[in-house]
Amino acid sequence: MKDEKELYVTRPDLPDFGLYAEKLKQIWENKILTNNGPLHQEFESKLKAHLGVDHLSVYSNGTIALLAALKALDLKGKVITTPFSFVATAHSILWNNLEPVFADIDPKTGNLDPESVKKLITSDTSAIMPVHVYGNPCDLEAFEKIRKEYGVKLIYDAAHCFDVKLKDKSILLEGDLSILSFHATKAFNSIEGGAIVSKDPALIEKLNLFKNFGFRNELEIDGYGINGKLNEFQAAFGILQLDNLSNNIQKRKICFEYYKELLAGVKGIEFIDFTPSYSYNYSYFPIIVKDDYKLTRDGLYDRLKAHSIFSRRYFFPLISNLNIYKDFPSASPELLTNANYLGDRILTLPLYSELSREDIERICKLVV
Ligand SMILES: Cc1ncc(COP(=O)(O)O)c(C=O)c1O
């Protein structure tokens, strides 16, 4: 129906235009546009304070941050990861000339299953890369145990995890490294952007050089780095976004809970299991469309679309079923039964801070 207001799966939060214009004036005055300028430095320090972490390096986006993080760890051979993620997760492994090995997931959370990972570890495995899907943390204890027991590196793709905390402690301090994305679709955005967090200052120092081609100074270049620098315009945008974040997350939380209230008990609709002890950023509202629902998942997707509601099938198709990956031995659907089950049934409904109660009611009326 053409005259219905279009509702997209997400809409970005933006800072106040007047405040952003003031920051732009500062850029125009000092004429520093990029290369670790004052706003970039301010953004990095504010992020550290906000997230409660000591060592963090801002990057131009989450994908370049993932590529650089894997490179900085000097990995060889194979990296075990999840097929239930955004393609950048596996692409970053291939870009490093490493082989992705897909393990299965927990069908209730979408997160990598530590038991499935353990079965795939061989002497060629140099790292494990789980994703905290929808910002819902993986089984951190189990992965830490695997890291210690098998002596592998543990890199968390924490693209969805800005501000996710357990009793006020950031989950970004888990493993060897965590990677964030500040893409426009995320709960916290700097238009494009990303960051790497680690407890290890030497690793972050290495990654600080890496994002500027490896330049230590004018004459010395350490390692073949990349251009991963965030510019001053985006740093300014990010700084202002931090001031509104808790308010925006609160609005998202209200939407998330209203959805749960309206969809509770609908036959064939299940929610993803978010572990109650964490504080979340409410980036996504995923539902599982089970076989006893009146429509297929794609049937529901089409029904919403016909009413100008654009949900997304995050994450479908599975990475392991894409042409680029499907011939890897671990990608076989018979080995990834939970991932294929969830990938075929998952649907992410619109969720953003400005979504109104009426919008949610309109969406839910089409689901129930
Ligand atoms: C799980 C995951 N990893 C990595 C990325 C890549 O981040 P970016 O878009 O900032 O490059 C995204 C999303 O964009 C993502 O959802």
Q: Please tell me whether residues 235 and 260 are part of one structural domain.
A: no
0.85 cut: is pTM over it?
A: yes
- The answer to whether residue 326 sits within a structural domain is yes
> Ligand 1 centre and the CA of 242: distance in Å?
19
Q: Please tell me whether residues 249 and 172 are part of one structural domain.
A: no
What pLDDT is recorded for position 2?
56
* Ligand 1 atom at minimal distance to the Cα of residue 133: 1
The verdict on the CB of residue 61 being under 6 Å from ligand 1 is yes
- The answer to whether residue 2 sits within a structural domain is no
Q: Please tell me whether residues 200 and 308 are part of one structural domain.
A: no
Q: Please tell me whether residues 230 and 256 are part of one structural domain.
A: no
d(CA 350, CA 145): 36
The verdict on the CB of residue 85 being under 6 Å from ligand 1 is yes
Q: Please tell me whether residues 145 and 54 are part of one structural domain.
A: yes
Low-confidence ranges of the chain (pLDDT < 70): 1-3
The verdict on the CB of residue 10 being under 6 Å from ligand 1 is no
Q: Please tell me whether residues 75 and 149 are part of one structural domain.
A: yes
Pick the last residue of a domain from 240, 272, 287.
240
Q: Are the C-beta atoms of 214 and 225 separated by less than 8 Å?
A: yes
- From 136, 177, 181, 318, give the residue whose CB has the most ligand 1 atoms within 8 Å, as the site to mutate: 181
Q: Please tell me whether residues 60 and 189 are part of one structural domain.
A: yes
What is the phi/psi pair of residue 365, to 5°?
A: -60, -30
The verdict on the CB of residue 105 being under 6 Å from ligand 1 is no
The verdict on the CB of residue 86 being under 6 Å from ligand 1 is yes
Q: Please tell me whether residues 67 and 131 are part of one structural domain.
A: yes
CATH number, domain at 281? 3.90.1150.10
Q: Please tell me whether residues 99 and 153 are part of one structural domain.
A: yes
CATH number, domain at 133? 3.40.640.10
What pLDDT is recorded for position 7?
97
- From 58, 63, 234, give the residue whose CB has the most ligand 1 atoms within 8 Å, as the site to mutate: 63
> Ligand 1 centre and the CA of 260: distance in Å?
26
* Ligand 1 atom at minimal distance to the Cα of residue 66: 4
- The answer to whether residue 147 sits within a structural domain is yes
Q: Are the C-beta atoms of 213 and 221 separated by less than 8 Å?
A: yes
Q: Are the C-beta atoms of 36 and 57 separated by less than 8 Å?
A: no
- The answer to whether residue 188 sits within a structural domain is yes
- The answer to whether residue 65 sits within a structural domain is yes
The verdict on the CB of residue 59 being under 6 Å from ligand 1 is no
- The answer to whether residue 289 sits within a structural domain is yes
Kindly report, residue by residue over 152-180, the tens digit of the pLDDT.
999 999 999 999 999 888 999 999 999 99
Q: Please tell me whether residues 98 and 31 are part of one structural domain.
A: yes
- Cα atoms found within 13 Å of the Cα of residue 283, Cβ hemisphere only: 22
Kindly report, residue by residue over 260-272, the tens digit of the pLDDT.
999 999 999 999 9
d(CA 66, CA 64): 5
User: How many domains does the structure of the chain reveal?
Assistant: 2
The verdict on the CB of residue 88 being under 6 Å from ligand 1 is yes
- The answer to whether residue 1 sits within a structural domain is no
What pLDDT is recorded for position 1?
54
Pick the last residue of a domain from 209, 240, 271.
240
What pLDDT is recorded for position 112?
98
Q: Please tell me whether residues 80 and 197 are part of one structural domain.
A: yes
- The answer to whether residue 185 sits within a structural domain is yes
> Ligand 1 centre and the CA of 158: distance in Å?
9
What pLDDT is recorded for position 168?
85
The verdict on the CB of residue 181 being under 6 Å from ligand 1 is yes
- From 66, 70, 86, give the residue whose CB has the most ligand 1 atoms within 8 Å, as the site to mutate: 86
How far lies 114's CA from each of 31, 138, 145, 147, 257, in Å? 50, 9, 10, 11, 29
> Ligand 1 centre and the CA of 267: distance in Å?
33
Kindly report, residue by residue over 65-97, the tens digit of the pLDDT.
999 999 999 999 999 999 999 999 999 999 999
Q: Please tell me whether residues 85 and 202 are part of one structural domain.
A: yes
Angle, CA 102 vertex, CA 61 and CA 136 arms, to 5°: 55
60: containing domain: 17-240
The verdict on the CB of residue 130 being under 6 Å from ligand 1 is no
* Ligand 1 atom at minimal distance to the Cα of residue 61: 10
Pick the last residue of a domain from 240, 268, 290.
240
